[in-house]
Structure 1
Amino acid sequence: MAMRWEAFLSQVKERGRYETTEEADRAARTVLALLGAHLVGEVRAELAARLPEGMALLLLNPLQAHEPLSPERFVRATAAWIEGATERTAAWDVSAVLSVVSDAAGEELTRRVLLQLPAGYDLLFGYSRPV
């Protein structure tokens, strides 16, 4: 069952220690749009089904990535999309959002998501070691 929008943003807001829900929403939208560009097929559809509808649409209708971004380039791309962000704040944004995504997905689906991404994304999803 999909997580509710308010619950998703509340968790992102808490983990990212954002002052406003708008900040959490902006981070979530940016990170999910970039993530969606890296996922394909059944894995992307299954993940979308576990996210709130508005977030799922960002995942399902992404910009197409010309090449998979390394975790470092993913963070840099996030920083480029969020006004006033630095690489350090973007890394925080990415981790806040992707750890909530991982919780919504569950361990088995998160493992399949990570298989579609370049090495190193496990840290961005909140895992201290490869899953």
Structure 2
Amino acid sequence: MNQLITAPADIISELTTIQSFLEITMSEDANEAVVRGNDLAVYMSRTGKLIADAKIHREQKLRSQMIQEYKKLLEFPASVAVKYTDTLVENETYSLTWATRLNAACTHQLDWCRTIISKAKAEMSAFNQ
């Protein structure tokens, strides 16, 4: 199963690529919306997988760090211990948050593509009548 999990550096690399794609401003051309929508569907799927992989890395690191920091954690009040453990997995949390936000951005951009395509259909229908 572990060979299916994307390595942390590869997650960052893929997220960077997806981020660059999502930062491109799309025109209101329906053909471009279809092509972009197809790409977005792939990126939605991939970011979903990257979210799962980032969660695995976060949980593994948290487990490992908590074992190392166990004595220190026992000295803290519970609320402080939780905040402290969050600092132990900052990079993993960052990757997870980024993947989650990109997944949401794909969803919103795909909705925009549908809107552009629907608009073009309505304009074609009105023109043909």
Same fold (TM over 0.5): no
Higher RCO structure, 1 or 2 (CA under 8 Å, sep 6+): 2
Give TM-score, length-normalised by structure 1. Answer: 0.27
Give TM-score, length-normalised by structure 2. Answer: 0.28
